[in-house]
Amino acid sequence: MTESTFQLENTYCNLPGVFFSKLSPTPVSSPEILLFNQKLAEEIGLDLSVLSEEERTQLLSGNLVPEGIEYFAQAYAGHQFGNFTMLGDGRALMLGEHLAPSGQRLDLQFKGSGRTPYSRGGDGRAALGPMLREYLISEAMHALGIPTTRSLAVVATGESVYRESELPGAILTRTAGSHIRVGTFEFASLHEDKAITQALLNYLIDRHFPEIREEENKALSVLQAVIDQQIDLITHWMRVGFIHGVMNTDNMALSGETIDYGPCAFMDIFSPDTVFSSIDHKGRYAYANQPYIAQWNLARLAESLLPLMDGERENAIEMAEDALNAFEDIYKNKWLSMMGSKLGLHRVDQKDEALVTELLDWMHQQKADYTNTFRDLSKPELPSESAYTTESFQAWHTRWQDRLGKEVQDWDSSVTLMDSVNPAVIPRNHKVEEALQAGEEGDLSPFHNLLKALANP
């Protein structure tokens, strides 16, 4: 395979060398492409049709490194469950950056491609189940209109990985706006060299915030832009009942995309304290805590940017605190607007907050399904479930109907709005587990069936 058949850039490697290590993937014995996202490939203008099936398999397994391309692993740090740790791509490698026809620059990255200098004793490999999960959930999130990394391919390695038990190994190819994280800036600031953090900031601006190039205080402007960006993302998560599970600072991507689908899930029964990580014993990353953790993570970004905001540390701290203190009001307004749209309200004001919170309180008390409840509300008639006949719900429903009567638009317009933001289909946890288990046992038909259902939520 020649350079001309597969062209990637690696502008990230123009950064100071502390940010990456160049190396090649560790070859695997018997690779086989299990999933290839042809629709995504077409969307981003990535044409691999010039490759034979064998070449494509070898490429997506890491066995074949195209001429002129240097793979690399990224270095970063992060706060994991509140504790600071030195990290990096311990089982991932960047192939490079692909330019889509839209002009967007997209990272292509392997997960599970072998050891790197950042593996910290790990084997650098990935099990098939988690790679299938990332493919499935990231595609579901995309279909739900939520910014996310995407999955291009899953390749079985033909080798086993050893966790609590022996599992089939796999490599995922992921696309992302970039893999720059809050933790990347934390890593940069550790060097106590403003030039290193400045180089990363300039790169981030060129990649994601070109409108900031002319701003006088670029570091502050980036912080403010990232705050808005992350509020939008978290509001989307709250809309569909998504719980990330591991909102560490190394899992907050400054591309504004959802990244890392480890112990994540969609909430069934509405409960604000729902968690989906077996090690999250204190509920740090529970559903209702996600906005607060986002703000906490952004404070770590702000700390990393302080030296670039102002020569006087006290002035820089004041600027950063003002930006961070705006988070709560911005989030609350966006959350209320989003929840209003889930109830068919085209224009929402502060008085509508009580209507929203009363419904959520009722759902919590009744152990109601989060997704189904909102879909039920837009039906011509409510289901005959006993919860909907309770006095508390009937009273709320009357108030809601009265509020809808004050809308300029008619009921049909409200229903259209509700159905556009309230999914009928989400990746139900038991369905996901069924599909993953069957996939690990060699049967991908349940996986494909679920993927098809999730494509039009």
Do residues 350 and 337 make contact, with C-beta atoms less than 8 angstroms apart? no
Q: Which is nearest to 24 in space by CA: 107, 121, 111, 95?
A: 95
Residue the block writes with tokens 């205080």: 217
Q: What are the tokens at 6?
A: 């597969």
Residues 266 and 242 sit within 8 Å (Cβ to Cβ): yes
Contact yes or no for 268/428 (Cβ under 8 A): yes
Distances (CA, A) of 166 to 159, 160, 163, 212: 10, 6, 6, 49
For residue 250, indicate whether it is catalytic: yes
- Tally of CB atoms within 10 A around 91: 20
Contacts of 8 (CB under 8 A, 6+ apart): 66, 69, 95, 96, 97, 98, 108
CA distance 90 to 14: 21
324 in Cβ contact with 299 (< 8 Å):
yes
In sequence order, the 6+-apart residues with CB closer than 8 A to the CB of 170 are: 34, 112, 126, 127, 128, 131, 132, 154, 155, 156, 157
From the list 89, 107, 232, 250, the catalytic residue is: 250
Beta pairing partners, 32: 156
Q: Which two tokens stand for residue 215?
A: 């701003």
With tokens 């990393």, the residue in question is: 304
SS3 323: helix
Residues classed as catalytic: 250
